[in-house]
Structure 1
Amino acid sequence: MNIKKELWKEIDNRKEQLIDLCCQLIKMPTENPPGEMEDITEFICKYLEKFGVENKVHRPKPNKPNIVAKYGNEKGKKLIFNGHADVVPAGDLSKWDFDPYCGKVKDGKILGRGTSDMKAGLGGVIFVMGLLAEKKIPLDGQMFLTVVPDEEISGELGTKWIVENNIVTGDACVVAEPTGYDNCEVGQRGTLWVNLKAEGTSAHGSLSPYVGDNAIEKLIKVLEGIKCLTKLHGEYEGEVKEVIKESKIAAKECLNKPGVENIIDHVTVNIGQIKGGTKTNMVPDSAQADVDIRIPLGVSTQRVIDNIDKVIEDLNLKGITYTYSWRSEPNNVSINSEIVKAVKRNTKDVLGIDISATYQWASSDARYFRSAGIPTIQYGPANTEGIHSYNETVDVKDVINAAKVYAGMVLDMLVYD
């Protein structure tokens, strides 16, 4: 029996330990905001130290702990695994069928906030790293694990900071974000957040529209114009064209809404927040809105900005100002890269299926690694219906299989004898 099969057998033998580790992570309420990460950071570090895994915590600011752990031979290739410890808030507890931080197993599923996004994937990587170190598996390269505190609020002091400060560099990266057992994600859309402000002139509400200048009405005109950005789309050829096609099929099957496949190759616009005015019987003299624009491969953020400029210029309205905050370009990795081949090969061996490679309709910290020239994929266990919603779960069998895939990828990428 070769090393890979021995490790897979060991994961099966210790599956209860793996699932318990994931449950322990889920029981820690690491909602972001507020983003209290010290307890889970201490827990992960102590777990790794039990197996002799070298690790260090980097804090760009107080209560922003980034764990960097490593195992293997530093002279060879470097394979990074990345995960985030923070989760989105549980929200209205009355809408949950169970305690979101129970971390219990029921009917073959782990229950709780963060099970799919992404403490089960993270737990799988932590478990595999500990197992490799305990078994003293010889690697011709080095496995890294980065655990960051703020992916759910854009990753500025987590992965972005780690990459920009060269805390970790590597030849390839696996982000254990939720993809489902039968898919790996090889690209994602870009993002542009826009804050729009409209200034008007106040007056008594009974005099509108003859007296005063209604800021809300002006803002609505701008928002209607910006919604036309959804007509923008990319043009594709070769490999990207094929992945786009596969991604549109996956989106349609997963989301099951008419026309939803257009999110893959078209710009999307979401008016996320809007507020304005002072009182019902007053003409509002100010209003503002925050808009989330997602941008597919084949369209740049600058092209979108140019279109927004044109929309506002053509409307010729006084008192309109706007600024941009989160701005990231669409990004991807070739499906012919070594890291993609490795995940496909190991899922084939573990699950007996050929997984798809698709582009993600949202975004993640993968973009920071790709921007640094590191070929990066996402692969992790998930039940998508609970992500960022209520009653989040993950299947136990998917967690176990994902851990096997991670272990196999380490051995394939960091050549062993």
Structure 2
Amino acid sequence: MLLARAAFWSWVSILGVISSSKVRLLLSQLSCPASSARSLNIHFGEKGTLRLTFTVTAQAAHGAYIHRSEGAIRVASRLIERLVAMEKLPDLGMNEKIKKHMQQPDVRKVADEIMWPGAADAMLIPTVNIGTIKGGDKINMIPSECIFEADIRIPIGVKTETIRKYIDDILKDFTTASYSVHENHSHVSTHSQPDHEMVNLLQKNAKELRGEEPVAMCSLGATDCKHFRRHNIPAYAYGPHPRGMAERDEKVSIEDFLDTVKVHTLTAWDYLGGAS
């Protein structure tokens, strides 16, 4: 068991299980608040990420001369509205098998319980977060430039090219706007099969330990599982729910931490053959 810092807001517990030259990875995001009946869960896949920096320019002028220039911030605001409208697009080509699994009532119910109401819908659509925005020099000046960063989460199976084409089409209406991609911080969606043997073992051991069988679902955020899945190595995340992640006083209960370690250990034991 390796406990290591994975990102500035999360701790990651990794258990590698080796069998027949295949590595099965179990990963737990240990960055969550106190336990509940549904506090430990299984993630078999995660949405893709597309991180972008947009730059919008406009004619600078005195703040009273709005008839001369709309200003970069107002243009950027309209562009942001168009980008956020992406969340209402019809089906963009999501993996049908995964979509059907995540539309099951029990999966949707648990997703909303552990990741806040609305999470079940968010698993199925692209989402847009505007993480930073900068522009303007003074309150009485029309800004000549506005720069903002967008974090787009892409459903499993939807191609990044599909999202970029949608963005490129939007920019045809914003001739003074451009964007660049954070290539090193953008990743395609990945998933393993939700009915894999490892999932069954995790569910069995979790139920024996905690009295309730966890369901397998998609992660809204990213995990290190993606690096293994890209090499055709099945990878699953099991651990506490993400409520409180990236918030003040994030934490994980001792009970949840110990139960995570126990389930990891029992599952590794079973996967390698157990007493046999």
| Sequence identity percentage | 24
Distance 1:321 1:383, change over 3 A: closer
1:347-358 correspondence to structure 2 within 5 Å? 347-358=206-217
What's the secondary structure of 2:138's corresponding residue?
Answer: coil
Partner of 2:197: 338
Partner of 1:323: 180
Equivalent residue letter for 2:62: H
Residue 181 of structure 1 and its aligned partner are, at CA, apart by 5.0
Alignment RMSD (CA, Å) = 2.7
The Cα offsets for residues 157-182 of structure 1, whole Å up to 9 and x where unpaired, read as xxxxxxxxxxxx84311112249654
1:160-171 correspondence to structure 2 within 5 Å? 170-171=22-23
Residue 236 of structure 1 and its aligned partner are, at CA, apart by 5.4
Kindly report structure 1 stretches of 4+ aligned residues shifted beyond 6 Å: none
* 1:385 pairs with 2:263: no
What are the ranges of 5 or more consecutive residues in structure 2 without an aligned counterpart?
33-37
Residue 349 of structure 1 and its aligned partner are, at CA, apart by 3.0
Kindly indicate whether the alpha-carbon contact (under 8 Å) linking 2:40 and 2:256 is maintained by their aligned counterparts in 1: no
What's the secondary structure of 2:64's corresponding residue?
Answer: helix
Distance 1:225 1:297, change over 3 A: same
Partner of 1:231: 88
Partner of 1:102: none
Partner of 1:173: 25
Kindly indicate whether the alpha-carbon contact (under 8 Å) linking 2:134 and 2:146 is maintained by their aligned counterparts in 1: yes
Residue 400 of structure 1 and its aligned partner are, at CA, apart by 2.5
1:40-55 correspondence to structure 2 within 5 Å? none
Between Structure 1 and Structure 2, the one with more strand by share is 2
Structure of greater relative contact order (alpha carbons < 8 Å, 6+ residues apart): 2
* 1:265 pairs with 2:129: no
Partner of 2:8: 88
Residue 260 of structure 1 and its aligned partner are, at CA, apart by 4.4
Q: Alignment length, in residue pairs?
A: 263
1:62-211 correspondence to structure 2 within 5 Å? 84-86=4-6, 88=8, 117-118=10-11, 121=13, 142=18, 170-178=22-30, 181-209=39-67, 211=68
Distance 1:83 1:276, change over 3 A: same
The Cα offsets for residues 153-206 of structure 1, whole Å up to 9 and x where unpaired, read as xxxxxxxxxxxxxxxx84311112249654211111111111110112212222
What TM-score comes out, normalization by structure 2 length?
A: 0.83
Q: Distance in 1 between matches of 2:169 and 2:149?
A: 19
Q: Distance in 1 between matches of 2:161 and 2:57?
A: 26
Distance 1:247 1:330, change over 3 A: farther
Q: Distance in 1 between matches of 2:59 and 2:242?
A: 47
Distance 1:305 1:247, change over 3 A: farther
What's the secondary structure of 2:249's corresponding residue?
Answer: coil
Q: Distance in 1 between matches of 2:273 and 2:110?
A: 33
Equivalent residue letter for 2:149: D
The Cα offsets for residues 260-317 of structure 1, whole Å up to 9 and x where unpaired, read as 432110111111111111222222111111011111124221111010011111x1x3
Q: Distance in 2 between matches of 1:241 and 1:83?
A: 34
1:13-32 correspondence to structure 2 within 5 Å? none
Kindly indicate whether the alpha-carbon contact (under 8 Å) linking 1:175 and 1:378 is maintained by their aligned counterparts in 2: yes
Q: Distance in 2 between matches of 1:247 and 1:339?
A: 18
Kindly indicate whether the alpha-carbon contact (under 8 Å) linking 2:50 and 2:153 is maintained by their aligned counterparts in 1: yes
What TM-score comes out, normalization by structure 1 length?
A: 0.57
Q: Distance in 2 between matches of 1:260 and 1:243?
A: 11
The Cα offsets for residues 221-247 of structure 1, whole Å up to 9 and x where unpaired, read as 221211111123455544541234344
Q: Select 1:301's aligned residue among 156, 160, 170.
A: 160
Equivalent residue letter for 1:88: F
Compare CA radii of gyration and give the structure with the larger one.
1
Equivalent residue letter for 1:218: V
Q: Select 1:287's aligned residue among 129, 146, 155.
A: 146
Partner of 1:60: none
